[in-house]
Amino acid sequence: MSDTRKQYVDFTEPYKIDMTCFMTRTEPPLPRWHALAFPFHPWTWLAILVGFIVSGPVLYCVAFTSGRWGEEVHSLSHLGFSVFYALGLHTCETFVQLPRRSSTRVFVIFLWLYTMVLTISYSTNLTAFLLVRKQPTSMQTIEDIYNSGLDVISMTDVFRAGIASSTNPYLKRLLPVHKVNTSTNDIFSRVLGGKAVYLQNRHTLEFQTSTCYTWRGVQRVRILRECYKTFNVAMAMRLHTPLKRKFDEVIAMLQQSGLLEHYFMDSLRVAASDKVSTVDPLSPTQPSAAQPTPDLGHE
């Protein structure tokens, strides 16, 4: 519904509230070997590295001070052996030789406790990350779209006015990269290739996502969390038609009974069951020309 269209047609009572949203591709999960670094935050890894670099020389200094009187294990008085001794504690491969002096023993005991907590925490967290594949960080907001530098594609020019009049500074900056393309296959090939995002009303995007780009329960595309411009959707009728009152009564009954949302979810299930996708969602290939995406247009 818009003021411009009301000059030419009458609208029934709105039967749906929709929003203008963005669609982008679903990034594939990260490779399994990346899980080796997931258990700890990068700053934690840096702290562990610093701790490992410092522990060897500190053990050498403690052992060397005690070893001057001949009461400490001679091997610990060498820097190289002390570093390997600390490395063995970090990897749960301790050496047979045990320190003799009390000061060296106290330091080794605390270092052993520290490395034991470290290795247990890493092992348990690693198991969890190996069981569940981690999704990469992806776009969720309009600011993310602007920072990505991707094109914004829509099938009509009606969205351009909404972008230009928006108070969101990042949305207004998307105006130079907004393009109109009427080819659905071309739009989705660019979206799946990670070269553009698709701009359309949310219910249409939900229908296309569920029916055309879902493979074995995995969606190849997704709708960004941040949308803009809420609008009403209604049926258009001739100006001054006497049928408007009857239609308004029926639409009000459908809204109160919740049948509109029920019918929409049913249409998703029926349409999805009629289409069998044979394309791997992790594949960057284009949609098959034999099964073109339905052109739903703009309500």
- For the question of whether the overall pTM of this predicted structure is more than 0.75, the answer is no
- What residues have CB less than 8 Å from 232, skipping those under 6 apart? 1, 14, 16, 17, 18
- Sign of the CA dihedral 67, 73, 74, 80? negative
Query: Which string of DSSP letters, residue by residue, matches 64-118?
Result: HHHHTTT-S-GGGGSHHHHHHHHHHHHTT---S----SHHHHHHHHHHHHHHHHH
In this predicted model, what pLDDT tens digit does every residue of 168-217 receive, in sequence order? Answer: 888 888 888 888 888 888 888 888 888 889 998 888 888 888 777 766 66
In this predicted model, what pLDDT tens digit does every residue of 10-30 receive, in sequence order? Answer: 999 888 888 888 988 887 777
Q: Which of 219, 23, 46, 215 is nearest to 135 (CA)?
A: 219
Residue pointed to by tokens 């993310």: 144
225-255 exposure pattern, b = at least 16 Cβ within 10 A, e = fewer: ebbbbeeeebbeeeeeeeebeebbeebeeee
pLDDT of 69 higher than 60: no
What Å distances lie between residue 125 and 39, 89, 129, CA to CA? 5, 20, 6
* Domain pair 5-28+136-274 / 33-131, same fold: no
In this predicted model, what pLDDT tens digit does every residue of 215-239 receive, in sequence order? Answer: 666 778 888 888 888 888 899 999 8
Q: What is the DSSP letter of 13?
A: S
Looking at per-residue pLDDT, the higher value among 279 and 244 belongs to 244
Domain 5-28+136-274 has CATH 3.10.580.10: no
Q: For position 109, what pLDDT does the model report?
A: 86
Domain 33-131 has CATH 1.10.10: no
Q: What is the DSSP letter of 32?
A: G
So where are the chain's domains? 5-28+136-274, 33-131
Beta-bridge partner residues of 18: 231
pLDDT of 113 higher than 70: yes
Cα Rg for the chain, rounded, in angstroms?
Answer: 31
